[in-house]
Structure 1
Amino acid sequence: MDDRVVGALSLPDDWPAHPDLSLALNRMGSFDWDLDSGLMHMDRPALDVFDLRADEYDDRPGTLGQRVPSDESTRLDAMVAQALKNGQSTYGAYFRILRRDGTLRWTHTQGFIRRDGTGRPHRIIGIVRDATQELADSTARRELDEDRRRRTSVVESTTAALAHARTVKDVIDVLKNSQGLAHLGATSLVVGLHEAGRIHLVADGPVGSFVPGTRYTRTDEPYPMGEVIRTLTPRFIESADDFATSYPVLWPHISGLGITSAAYLPLIAQARPIGAIGLLYSDKDGFTGDERNLLIALGSSIAQSLQRAMLYEQEHDLAEGLQKAMLPRRIPEVPGAQIAVRYRSARLGRDIGGDWYDVIPLPGGRVGAVIGDVQGHDTDAAAVMGQLRIVLRAYAAEGHSPATVMARASVFLHELDTDRFATCTYAEVDLTTGVIQLVRAGHIDPLIRDGDGSCRLLRAEGGLPLGLSAEFGRLAYPVSTAELDPGQTLVLYTDGLVELPGADLDDGMQLLTAMVRNGPQDLQQLADQLCDAVDERGGDDDVAVLLLRRKAAHAPRPGGRLQQHVAQNDPDALTASRHMIRSAVRAWGAKERADEVELAADELITNALIHTDCGAIVTIRVLTGPERRLRVDVEDRSSALPRRRDAGVTGVSGRGLMLVERLSDAWGVESRGTGKCVWCEFIVPEREQPPGVTERTPILPDGNRK
């Protein structure tokens, strides 16, 4: 049956084809190389591969040298010799030949080595063939693969760069400044953010391409960004005609930019559109499937980065608002001092922290300067900072000593039920004498800048950070004393100003000292310069700076000062205090106001004796500054503050403070660590002293001078 079927088939006469025909039709030739005689036979197809005629070849391999460049010939000879030596049975290689017209053509040879019984090679039988098309196809495949790898690497590199972008501006800068767009062939880009049914354009495209009225557009307007946000589908514009036909409102404004195609992609995050991006091309027509897939992948990466950036900016705005609310809204004017303060958030990290400063006016020409840093960089650190700043200010205003202020603040922080601690420096400066009482709680030593610009470190013994000292029961903070001369500046700062990436703290201190030494004389300019230096180098910590300069021209100068203790149920002491006040006022050239001063002082002393269970300390002194003032202080150990009351028509009390207010030029109450002080001041004229005569201190009733 099978034989009948085969016999019935009609087959070509030359079927099956002879191997020589198969080789010839596929542009292959054969050779037989006798290694003993050195002769190499090549058939006609083989000679055609080498572009030789039969009469040009004499069966000797050397004759092929006219078609094989010397470098290729050397490489082939070495390869064959190595194969013969190593006992190989086959070899193969690609090489180039030189055709008659002078062009090079790729060729491939493959040989089988025959050996005798001893393993000695004596014959090579093989083929040669034209490899031009094969290598061309291989090159094309490699180029295609390389192009795919390049495009994929563009997405990967752009995604990696976007991972470090923290704000929307950072994202736009990465897209504009990276090589990604150039590798994708895009000329420029436009980016819009979706906000409550509108699109806010945040990247305008090429220079001069902004279309007036498109900064904010509605999603239902006939623009490509609105379309992709509405449909959540990419829009690939294949040509300029496609652009003009699809968007006739927009095209007339950008037709002169030479745009030939564009790709608009919706930016989708968490299943909702947050914006759109457009890639504009000036020398491209159409998009392949691979290009579209890569652009869609790029759009997804950009969307995730933009969402992170938008969430970060929202959190940053909230944290920054909290930080501003926790810092002092304004720095009070302090007579005798010039003050500059700055706060700079970190340029890395979460941009918010617990650094703070404060300036606290204190009685008697004193001022408290505070700089501190709560552990952490988040909104919790800022909240703890605000609470700590307020209580530290309250303790200082109550009149406690610097060491007590720090100790109480540490106890407060420890009892706040938080795991945070804080470093802090509190400096109490007497602007009258220039004496500084300094307390450090784990903070960096401050600097002193002299009037001539020279700068030095102010070494001060320190204690544990706030919170930790209370936890470990080490609340005794040492107080260091220094002097601030007129014209000198106290420089307080947090560690973000001196911590340099990859450098020791000493290097940062030396750099800061140099900046303060060489900085401008104006305090505001100096503070700006210090913060600008931090901005330039970046960093992961926020910075607070407080500069306090003692002014020479308006520093209060002490005049006279007398003090008297008045005990309960001691009429003689009360009489002595009245006599002291009367004598002092006359001796200091304020005789015309003697009655007013004596009456107001008598009211304050009487109130202290009647409304408290202890005595009073009366101090009268002269303050000379922009205007000469006589001040009366009455201190007692009661924390109850006096208040004005309506005495009524028949009342016998309640008019004392009203009388003090009418008689004096200023009055007030100051909390002290051991009680309170009620004071009043009277402006008195400057005394004209004869040359060489100094102001005389009056003599107390017992004949002594205070």
Structure 2
Amino acid sequence: MGRADPSELVRHVLRVMRCREPQAMVDALTAAGDGLWSLPVGQTRLYVGRGAVLDVFPVPGDEALEEAAREVVHTGRPRTVDGAVGRTSVLPLATDGQVLGALAVGTDDGDGRDGDRSDPDLWALLAEGCALALRARAEAGLLASAMDAAEAGVFAWDFAADDVYWDERACAVYGVDPAEFDGRGETFFALLHPEDVPVLQAAIAQVTEAAVTAAESGDLAGSDRYHLSYRVVHRDGSVHHLAECGRVLVDHTGRPSRALGFVYETTGGAATSTAAHVSPDTSRDAFLFTLTRALSKAVTVRDVTQVMTDLARPALGAENLVLGIADDGRLDIVGETRVGPVLERLREPAHAMMAFAATQDEPLFIEDLTRHSLSHVPGLAVAGPLPPRSWVVLSLGSADHVTGACLIAFAGPRHFDAGERTFYTAVAVILTQSLERAQLFDAEHQRATDLQEAMLPRHLPTLSALSAQSRYLPGTRGMHIGGDWYDVLPLSDGTAALVIGDVQGHDAHASAVMGQLRVALRTCAEAALAPGTILARVNRVLCDLETDRFATCAYLVLDPVDGTLHGARAGHPHPMRVRPGDVDEIRLAGGPPLGVDPQAHYPTTAASLGRGEALVLFTDGLVERRDADIDTCVRRMADDIRGWLRTTVRGGDVDLAALAEFLAGQDDPGRIDDVALLAVRRTA
């Protein structure tokens, strides 16, 4: 039987799977709007159940069909029934080895002949969709029953937005009217028993740091799950012992995004043993230990900022955190969590307060912004009515120099006792050391990047009938000078040599070898030899230099006029050919990386590049990801380009600059290698 667009079938099945009630599933199965994919109205029934008694939708049903449905549920095998209304196919609703019911579909027109809609494969697919929907319905019902039995509530906490969700049971557990709950993390901390605040601060920091560490290592065997016990104080002054079970989720960049789970009231034993018996000083020491461990892994200033905003701020129950670095007498803000629109007017006074605090020897503690005299803070007097807020402003630096400042803002007034003031002073010391170390790394990394970029072509040559774009992305996370490079070499016969390469290592030696290879390739290119011959010569040069380094490389010669292309590669990824609507690899025969075997042979492969088509050469840093091998990563990049083409290229030529920006913009935040990218397109 002919069928319409298969994408309509996908949407049809998804509509069925989203249903939670059997009658709604029947309605979705027989919806006329789904055309050829819909089942016949009046001849489609669902039988739901796993025993001798089945619920039928719609009612009433046919006794013969119901008996057949019971048999199908029992055996798990489909069967056909000839009855008064014609022939009917009865299929099991099966998933993961469980049969949850049966789907009955009329298969003829009532005169013994198969109808136009007879399609057993379609029915089997729809039956599986119904089974999945029924299983989700059953599991949701069991979960709801279990939560009811435990009197447990559900919560979710978005760290970045500081947005907290509590269902009605969770609100009851915390003693909050759902209509009055403002959804702020500060509200949660305000409900905690005062003795348990530092305990929870340390615990939240620990579970968040554990989840981030597990994500970095790829080992999530329970490290992102946690169990906490603590006390809250209701409005009537009564103390309640709670248990919280949850999980910290990280986003695709490895940063903690939210926590979710459930909370319920206990008899008090477990909560008392884990919270009330831990002293505030011990808990603060645990927090400082976790913060120190997290900051020890921070390499760059950006890393330090993320630790403070992603780990420290939520764990402290702070509303906002701002980090600034002193530079030539001014304070540059390098990190800041989002603030609500009503607090935007406090941004400039807060920054001014940080600039003042950076010159002080001790942290500043402002327990109530509405009562504090801040005549030395410009702009605060004209900021309008001040909301009830408390600030801790950390001075970062030492007696002989200023490093910066960090402002931690809390909603509402807050008293900072001697223990808390000592705690925040320790945070300032730890943060100062981490920030200064990160600044040194960033400065060294910038010098290395400048040197690397100075060794690359300052600009690409202008060639007739050929446009070119290049990008270079320096390495991160401890990398120094890289060895990736690219070149476009105009040749005397009007062709152009296209070069991309990657020297082993990330240090000054790798950069020096890269410079030697660029010179050698330029020298050999003038001889107008075949690409394979040129790579063989350069390979012998690198072997003779005894650098103890190898390099991958692809060398291609393109005639911009007729599109003739000849290329060879030495252990390097294949180039990509991009045309409107499609992407493919140009498979070049290859040999080992340069510098490995002085006798290595590099075959030359002939190909072509059509008018308006683009050629993309890249180093492995552009595509490599920790969760997949290089071939899988290349296929992912090809799929990404196809998706980009569908949304940006509509019948015209490929926009080379936009393509290069798209590929560079796909950069993985966790990337450690540097990246070289060269893209060319024939224009004639």
For the superposition of Structure 1 and Structure 2, which TM-score range results when normalised by the shorter chain? 0.5 to 0.7
After superposition, residues 164-563 of structure 1 pair within 5 angstroms as: 164-178=297-311, 180-202=312-334, 207-210=343-346, 225-226=355-356, 229-230=359-360, 232-240=361-369, 243-244=372-373, 247=376, 252=381, 256-259=385-388, 261-268=390-397, 272-346=401-475, 348-350=477-479, 353-416=482-545, 418-449=547-578, 451=579, 453-469=581-597, 473-520=598-645, 521-535=654-668, 538-551=670-683, 554=684
Letter paired with 2:305: I
Deviation at 1:236, TM superposition (A): 3.5
Say which one has the larger Rg: 1
Native 8 Å contact 2:396 2:428 kept in 1: yes
Deviation at 1:464, TM superposition (A): 2.4
Structure 1, unaligned stretches of length 5 or more? 1-102, 105-134, 218-222, 555-706
Normalising by structure 1, report the TM-score.
Answer: 0.51
How far apart, in 2, do the equivalents of 1:203 and 1:444 lie?
38
How far apart, in 1, do the equivalents of 2:324 and 2:548 lie?
43
Q: Secondary structure at the match of 2:615?
A: strand
Deviation at 1:307, TM superposition (A): 1.5
How far apart, in 2, do the equivalents of 1:139 and 1:249 lie?
47
Deviation at 1:297, TM superposition (A): 1.9
Deviation at 1:250, TM superposition (A): 6.6
How far apart, in 2, do the equivalents of 1:142 and 1:442 lie?
58
Deviation at 1:156, TM superposition (A): 3.7
Native 8 Å contact 1:371 1:425 kept in 2: yes
How far apart, in 2, do the equivalents of 1:395 and 1:477 lie?
15
Q: Secondary structure at the match of 2:574?
A: coil
Change (3 A) 1:480 1:271: same
Letter paired with 1:461: A
How far apart, in 1, do the equivalents of 2:473 and 2:274 lie?
55
Deviation at 1:368, TM superposition (A): 0.4
Native 8 Å contact 2:354 2:406 kept in 1: no
Q: Secondary structure at the match of 1:145?
A: coil
How far apart, in 2, do the equivalents of 1:296 and 1:529 lie?
45
Native 8 Å contact 1:204 1:210 kept in 2: no
How far apart, in 2, do the equivalents of 1:263 and 1:156 lie?
20
How far apart, in 1, do the equivalents of 2:500 and 2:310 lie?
40
Native 8 Å contact 1:193 1:202 kept in 2: yes
Deviation at 1:367, TM superposition (A): 0.9
Deviations 1:307-334, CA, capped at 9 Å, x for gaps: 1321222122212212221221111222
Native 8 Å contact 1:259 1:281 kept in 2: no
Deviations 1:353-411, CA, capped at 9 Å, x for gaps: 22111111112221100011111233443343234223312321343442343234334
How far apart, in 2, do the equivalents of 1:326 and 1:163 lie?
33
Native 8 Å contact 2:325 2:405 kept in 1: yes
How far apart, in 2, do the equivalents of 1:260 and 1:514 lie?
50
How far apart, in 2, do the equivalents of 1:140 and 1:284 lie?
30
How far apart, in 2, do the equivalents of 1:467 and 1:481 lie?
25
Deviation at 1:279, TM superposition (A): 2.9
Letter paired with 1:368: A
Deviation at 1:432, TM superposition (A): 4.4
Deviations 1:454-508, CA, capped at 9 Å, x for gaps: 3333332222222223xxx315432222333434433322112332212122211
Change (3 A) 1:147 1:548: same
How far apart, in 1, do the equivalents of 2:276 and 2:379 lie?
37
Partner of 1:65: none
Letter paired with 2:621: G
The alignment yields a C-alpha RMSD, in angstroms, of: 3.7
How far apart, in 1, do the equivalents of 2:567 and 2:490 lie?
16
Letter paired with 1:477: Y
How far apart, in 2, do the equivalents of 1:354 and 1:203 lie?
31
Deviation at 1:154, TM superposition (A): 3.6
Deviation at 1:272, TM superposition (A): 4.5
How far apart, in 1, do the equivalents of 2:521 and 2:300 lie?
35
How far apart, in 2, do the equivalents of 1:461 and 1:304 lie?
52
Deviation at 1:153, TM superposition (A): 4.1
Change (3 A) 1:479 1:210: same
Q: Secondary structure at the match of 1:506?
A: helix
How far apart, in 1, do the equivalents of 2:583 and 2:315 lie?
53
Aligned length: 406
Deviations 1:248-281, CA, capped at 9 Å, x for gaps: 7575356844355433332237975412223334
Deviations 1:126-180, CA, capped at 9 Å, x for gaps: xxxxxxxxx99x96995372644544444344444434444334433432333x3
Deviation at 1:349, TM superposition (A): 4.4
Q: Secondary structure at the match of 1:229?
A: coil
How far apart, in 2, do the equivalents of 1:375 and 1:443 lie?
12
Q: Secondary structure at the match of 1:499?
A: coil
Q: Percent identity?
A: 36
